Amino acid sequence: MSDNITAIHPSWEIIHGDALKVLREFAPNTFDAVITDPPYASGGRTQAEKNKSTDKKYSSMGESAPPPFDGDSKDQRSWTRWAAEWLYDARKVCKPGAPVCMFIDWRQLPAATDALQWAGWIWRGTAVWDKGNSRPQKGRFRQQAEYIVWGSNGDMPISRPVPCLPGVFKYGNPQNRIHLTEKPLQLMRDVVKITEPGGHILDPFAGSGSTVLAAVLEGYSATGIEVTDAYAALSRERIERELAQGA
């Protein structure tokens, strides 16, 4: 399938398959960047459940020293392990110095920085996507931002031909989303610019294909991996359609 797609579109492909399996089939030094929006919580508890269990757990703590780690993190722990696995495999097929960008929400951000570093990437910072339009909550701060945890595969020379990039991006959520977590295209066009010009970008969780589309629009080549058959097909159609419109 990927050969066929590659033949038609030399600069991009969407591979249908599981990220962990597909990643191991690439050769080392294949990619210049990893830019992706992984599933945020494979266990998927609600915030209320998390708060309740946390509350119960720590109300019994009394005067003694705090426990070493949050006990309601069983789901989070397995998420972290899983993330470390694919981050490791992704790093292994990247060139030295390649940047990595991972979208994440506030709750998984600490787990994401752990996983990134466990996988051998150097964590270099956190950029912010200000969504602007989240639902207000009385008596609370709005959760109106998502985060881009980013780093590099070893040293990242300041001499790379890449300009300075902003640290906060403000874009509203797109209308008519194909995928539930689809990011604004302009946001992705901004973020992929962390890659060296003309580089080959990997997105192991392609979803609706925004990263791949943005990469091609900005002059990069890109490989997306998507496990859900329907999204792999939908994203291919979307990218072809939007590239045809733009051309």
Partner DNA sequence: AAGCTAGTTGAATCCCTCG
Partner DNA sequence: TCGAGGGATTCAACTAGCT
Q: Which residues bind a second copy (CB under 8 A)?
A: 51, 54-55, 58-59, 61, 66-67, 69-70, 84, 88, 106, 109-110, 113-114, 117-120, 122-128, 130, 132, 134, 136-145, 148, 150, 154-158, 160-168, 194
Find the binder of DNA among 7, 27, 48, 247 (CB under 7 A).
48
At 226, give phi and psi (nearest 5°).
-140, 125
At 20, give phi and psi (nearest 5°).
-60, -35
Stretch that binds DNA, among 113-121, 133-141, 190-198, 237-245 (CB under 7 A): 133-141
What x-and-dash track marks residues 74-93 binding DNA by CB under 7 A? Answer: --------------------
| CA-based radius of gyration for the chain | 19
Nearer to a second copy, 6 or 143 (CB): 143
CA distance 136 to 179: 23
**Number of residues binding to DNA, judged by CB under 7 A:** 43
Query: Quick one: which of 245, 244, 225 has its CA closest to 235?
Result: 225
Residue with tokens 């309740």: 52
CA distance 213 to 210: 5
Least distance (Å) between residue 40 CB and a second copy: 14
Residue 124 engages DNA in binding (rule: CB under 7 A): yes
CA distance 164 to 161: 10
181 binds, among DNA, a second copy, none (CB under 5 to 8 A by kind): DNA
Contact 35, 203 (CB under 8 A): yes
Least distance (Å) between residue 60 CB and DNA: 5
Is residue 125 exposed (0-12), middle (13-18) or buried (19+ Cβ within 10 Å)? Answer: exposed
Torsion from C-alpha of 194, 197, 198, 203, nearest 10 degrees: 0
Contact 12, 79 (CB under 8 A): no
Residues 136-195 interacting with DNA (rule: CB under 7 A): 136-138, 140, 143, 146, 155-159, 163-164, 166, 170, 172-173, 177, 180-181
82 binds, among a second copy, DNA, none (CB under 5 to 8 A by kind): none
Please report, as ranges, the residues that interact with DNA according to CB under 7 A. 37-40, 42, 44, 46-49, 52, 60-61, 72, 103, 105, 124-125, 131-138, 140, 143, 146, 155-159, 163-164, 166, 170, 172-173, 177, 180-181
